[in-house]
């Protein structure tokens, strides 16, 4: 599936719509260059799951947890990590065992750690617009 997005509000609205229909735990791999909109996607996604608090990029904390919606959200940012071993050292396997949603920014850095299935969200910068592509990875 593909969408052409014209700004932050549309990005957040798309993610909110996608999240509103989720019924079970899943992993969402968010791919895109710096400034593509991965964190804005995460904000809308959390809102779609009923989370009312602030959602910020976990670049320095590596993972943020959001509770209070229909499902807990574990929001990762792998940008600063140098190896799959570092991802594992922050408890990746433990988070996979949780009954929640894993949103992973910069997931393309360690695709070998993606569980099956994973939903891949690719965000491509096209001047002032974004092309968002959603694929199921089995």
Give pLDDT, residue 7: 92
- What total of structural domains would you count in the chain? 1
List the one residue out of 3, 24, 12 whose CA is nearest residue 100.
24
Indicate yes or no: pTM above 0.85: yes
Q: What residues in the chain have per-residue pLDDT under 70?
A: 59-60
pLDDT score for 60: 66
On whether the CB atoms of residues 110 and 84 are closer than 8 A, the answer is yes
* Domain extent at residue 22: 2-137
pLDDT at residue 57, as a whole number: 78
Question: What was the pLDDT predicted at 109?
Answer: 95
| pLDDT for 111 | 94
Q: How far is residue 39's CA from residue 48's CA, in Å, rounded to a whole number? A: 14
How high is the pLDDT of residue 119? Answer: 94
Three-state secondary structure string covering 8-49: HHHHHHHHHHHHHCCCCCEEEEEEECCCCCHHHHHHHHHHHC
Separation between Cα atoms, residue 134 and residue 117, nearest integer Å: 13
Q: What CATH code is carried by the domain that includes residue 120?
A: 3.40.50.300
What distance in Å separates the CA atoms of residue 110 and residue 84, rounded to the nearest whole number?
A: 6
pLDDT at residue 72, as a whole number: 94
């Amino acid at each position: 599936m593909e969408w052409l997005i014209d700004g932050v509000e549309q990005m957040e609205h798309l993610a909110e719509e996608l999240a509103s229909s989720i019924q079970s735990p899943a992993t969402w791999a968010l791919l895109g260059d710096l400034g593509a909109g991965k964190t804005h996607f995460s904000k809308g996604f959390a809102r779609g799951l009923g989370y009312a608090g602030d959602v910020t990029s976990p670049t320095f904390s590596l993972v943020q947890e959001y509770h209070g919606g229909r499902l807990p959200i574990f929001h990762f940012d792998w940008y600063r990590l140098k190896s799959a071993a570092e991802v594992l050292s922050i408890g990746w396997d433990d988070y996979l065992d949780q009954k929640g949603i894993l949103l992973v920014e910069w997931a393309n850095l360690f695709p070998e750690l993606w569980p099956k299935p994973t939903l891949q969200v690719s965000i491509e910068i096209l001047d002032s617009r974004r092309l968002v592509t959603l694929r199921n990875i089995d």
